Amino acid sequence: MNDWVFIGLGGNVGTEAEILDRFDSANRELAVLASGGRIGRSPVYRSRAAGPVGDQPDFLNQVIAFAPAPDLEPRALLAILRAIEDRHHRQRTVPKGPRTLDLDLLLFGERVIFEPPELIVPHPRLGQRAFVLAPLLDLLGGPPGKL
């Protein structure tokens, strides 16, 4: 899995069924970028909204992983993620506010990329987010002691 891409999915706008439908849609769209069409999905987690915007519904979170097609570059993937969010009516008017669909590029193989503010890999807050770490560890086989 050293060359795999890991994407965090989140959402808290709409019913649980609507959010899960958006996750399914994003998974289908991203599967076409996967070498051989294989994509791994973690279980879905529920987490409280973090950040300064209070009175938000809980988030649903998931991590997906796939081996990218050889010609897929990180900046192109980031543009694809933004386009998928836009198709699901993602609004960027309130930082850390409610979201229909949030797609974060967590890891792109073993690459370290620093092109702020848009492209930083590994994701700069990856280690601070249990709602990302738990599903990521599910895909990797468990806590580090189990790897």
pLDDT tens digits, 86-122: 898 877 776 677 888 999 999 998 888 888 888 888 8
Torsion of CA 112, 113, 116, 119, to 10 degrees: -110
Judged against a pLDDT cut of 50, whether residue 61 lies above it is answered with yes
Higher pLDDT, 20 or 70: 20
Query: What average pLDDT does the segment 53-82 reach?
Result: 90
**Alpha-helical regions (H) of the chain:** 16-31, 74-87, 130-140
Annotation says 90 is catalytic: yes
Q: How far is CA 3 from the centre of its chain?
A: 17
**Candidates 22, 41, 99, 129; catalytic one:** 99
Q: Which residues contact 77 (CB under 8 A, 6 or more apart)?
A: 5, 33, 68, 105, 108
Confidence band (pLDDT; 50, 70, 90) for 52? low
Annotation says 104 is catalytic: yes
**Candidates 90, 111, 129, 138; catalytic one:** 90
Whole-prediction pTM: 0.88
CA angle at 11 for the pair 24 and 20, rounded to the nearest 5°: 30
Annotation says 102 is catalytic: yes
- pLDDT of res. 1: 61
Residue 112 · residue 13 · CB < 8 Å: no
